[in-house]
Amino acid sequence: MLLVTADSIDPDALRKRLCDSAAGAYVSFEGWVRDENEGQTVLRLEYEAYEPLAVKEGEKILAEARASYPILHAACVHRTGVLEIGDCAVWVGVASAHRDAAFLAARFIIDALKVRLPIWKKEYYANGDSGWVNCEHCAGRNHSAA
């Protein structure tokens, strides 16, 4: 399951979806909104996604994880919209018989989705500036990276 949603993420509810009597391990990753980036104080974030392709590419990443590691279930939810400091921006969960596969698959999934999903992050700073992350050359970026 790969979900892109404007609703807040509930990790406890998501965890229950992966329960399986054959699972001896469960690993989850939560990405939280942090109050600092590259020396700038961050007030909030805004995520934009192109959902049709984000879901398609995300399902491909989950399928790759299932093909590469002996896991039972893998799922991911990514937020869109405005998020405040401390909010959960992304959740990844993996259930497997043994812990090694769950750790490795969770790491693979979060690393892959950060570089492959058509999702963009705009940071709003305490000094009134804002900027799209990873977009150093964009004309619309109105602050220089520290």
Question: Footprint of another protein on this chain (CB under 8 A)?
Answer: 31, 47-50, 52-54, 56-57, 78, 89-90, 110, 113-122, 132-135, 137-141
* Cβ proximity to another protein, 81 vs 118, nearer residue: 118
DSSP string, 87-141: -EEEEEEEEESSHHHHHHHHHHHHHHHHHHS-EEEEEEETTS-EEETT-TT-TT-
By C-beta, is 23 or 135 nearer to another protein?
A: 135
In the complex, the smallest distance separating the C-beta of residue 31 from another protein, rounded to whole angstroms, is 5
CA angle 105, 48, 92 (to 5 degrees): 20
CB of 132 to another protein, least distance (A): 5
Query: What's the first-to-final CA gap in the chain, in angstroms?
Result: 37
Q: What letter represents residue 50's amino acid?
A: Y
* CB of residue 2 to another protein, shortest distance in Å: 11
CA–CA gap between residue 13 and residue 63 (Å, rounded):
22
Please state the closest distance from residue 116 (CB atom) to another protein, in A. Answer: 7
Cβ closer to another protein: 15 or 57? 57
The DSSP secondary-structure symbol of 71 reads: E
Nearer to another protein, 26 or 47 (CB): 47
Q: By C-beta, is 73 or 78 nearer to another protein? A: 78
Quick one: DSSP state of residue 9?
P
Q: Measured from the CB of residue 106, what is the shortest distance to another protein in angstroms?
A: 12
